[in-house]
Amino acid sequence: MRPTVSRVAFASGLLAPRAVGASLVTTRCTSSSAASPSIAAASATYDHASFVKEIAATDPPEHLHSLLNLLQARGEMLVSPGAKRGLIPLVVPLSESPAGNLTSLLRWPTAPSGMEMPVVEVRNHGLWLMAKNVNQYIHRMLVEADISGYGDDVWSAVGDAGENFYTKGDFKESQMADVDAYLLKKVGLFPDVIERKTSLHLEKGDHVSALITGEFYTRDHFPGFGRPFMFNSEVLRRVGRTTEAKDSARVALKSPWWTLGCRYEEAAELAGWEDEQIEFIREKVTEEGKREDLKKGKAPEQVVLDEAAFLMDLASVDGNWDDVVDRIAECYRGAGLGAIAKFIAYRE
């Protein structure tokens, strides 16, 4: 029996993007020893902000300038927002760490109401959610800088805007047990923090607390991401609840596969599936598969949106983003989302 496939996060109850006139943004944004930090930062901020507005067709985060400064202060090199070759086509690259990790913004093709651009890390199999928005990420970095004692460079980078997020010494004055507790209570919810707390419960043998925290993780705190259900599946398996673990993994696989936080094969193993899901989706993106959907009464726009989502899933397995990016863009163009199509197809 073939598994059912849902792509609600892409198409149901979503807002259409706002079309904006575009101009090309081609300047390479990198740190330069020949330029002063202030000049380099100003140039980089303009390039990224204009790219988000004119190419990604959405409003840039209010404090994007501060985030770029912070990333540089942390030792990362700014990269061009249009340097998307080889990457999942929904990201706006921001910076690269010395270890090669790429911090980016995620531009959902159709975003749920009120959702800001998340901060993500690009990985081979997809994306890892670092923060639900730029403000939360800046706030967290300031807290961690204050605690670690390397905060001077970070605070200089963010300037007066830092006072809008965090007051130096607040963590110490809070007398909280650890930084994770502070972040969750004072800053926001972060996937890595929730997962770390859950893992600590498991290490202590406190299965009840681990199960409660894992279930809390799945309560729609991170819309569109399958990672919470994937992690909860791992927790359930560790405590011997194999049937529930399988169910949670299958729920995770209804989300875009590039949001699982792991390779598809790992998720499929937990779900108890072999290759049938992949083969099913490969059939869905054929001309015959699309005709079958139309015969069943599915709207043509929905058929092409589903096709785009399925192609993204398959690319996350095969690692061939550049091979399918033009076809994905054409799908969005066919659904009347020309601005999104232009963003997806854009590559320097």
Instruction: Determine the Cα–Cα distance for residues 347 and 186; give it in Å rounded to an integer.
Output: 39
Distance between CA atoms of residues 335 and 52, nearest Å: 21
Q: Model confidence at 26, in pLDDT bands (50, 70, 90)?
A: very low
pLDDT digits 0-9 by tens, 206-237: 999 999 999 999 999 999 999 999 999 999 99
Sheet holding 77-78, edge to edge: 77-78, 91-96, 102-106, 119-123, 126-131
| Res. 43: pLDDT tops 70 | no
Rounded CA separation 189/230 (Å): 17
The tens digit of pLDDT for each residue in 235-271 reads 999 999 999 999 999 999 999 999 999 999 999 999 9
| pLDDT tier at 5, thresholds 50, 70, 90 | very low
**In 3-state terms, what secondary structure has residue 103?**
strand
pLDDT for the residue numbered 23: 34
**Which of 135, 133, 158 is CA-nearest to residue 146?**
158
Question: What is the DSSP pairing of strand 119-123 with strand 77-78?
Answer: unpaired
Question: DSSP secondary-structure letter at 185?
Answer: I
Spell out the domain ranges in the chain.
Answer: 189-274, 277-345
Angle at 325 between CA 104 and CA 286, to 5 degrees: 135
Could you confirm whether domain 189-274 is CATH 1.10.357.10? no
Chain centroid, CA 128 distance in Å: 6
